[in-house]
Amino acid sequence: MKAKNMVKLSFYSRSVNEGFARGALAAFLAQADPTVPELADVKTAVSEAVTNCIVHAYPQGVGLVHLSVALYDEGLVRITVADKGVGIPDVEKAMQPMFTTGNPEERAGLGFAVMQSFMDKVRVTSAPGKGTRVVMSKRLASRG
């Protein structure tokens, strides 16, 4: 399936860039005329994925976060958030609600659960020392 339109962005894993990612996503998705709740859902899921990269991927410093968004026919949106950080040793365990490798007083361990609740599909692939890729998709309601 070929995308009707797509964008790719890369930015440093700094907390200030989480808002940038949300804003860039919203600006790009405007062409699909999403409803306000749909846009809020997708922005929240992307926020969680980008925040995971910022908090977990590069514990020794700053690295790149890659965001790509593609629009397909019939309102399908596919979003990929990827890094080349430390990776996740056990993806299945990491996707369990309340699991966190961060400080439990600061992190709830709900990032993947939030992504799954707002998107139709979430797929996570990771390899220790090589990074993580989160691919999320959602079909926007037809407004025509």
Residue partners of 128: CB distance under 8 A and separation at least 6: 86, 87, 88, 89
Q: Could you tell me the two tokens for 23?
A: 């804003």
Q: Within 10 A of 141 (CB to CB), how many other CB atoms are there?
A: 11
Residues annotated as part of the active site: 48, 52, 107
Residues in the chain: 144
Find how far residue 132's CA is from the centre of its chain: 11
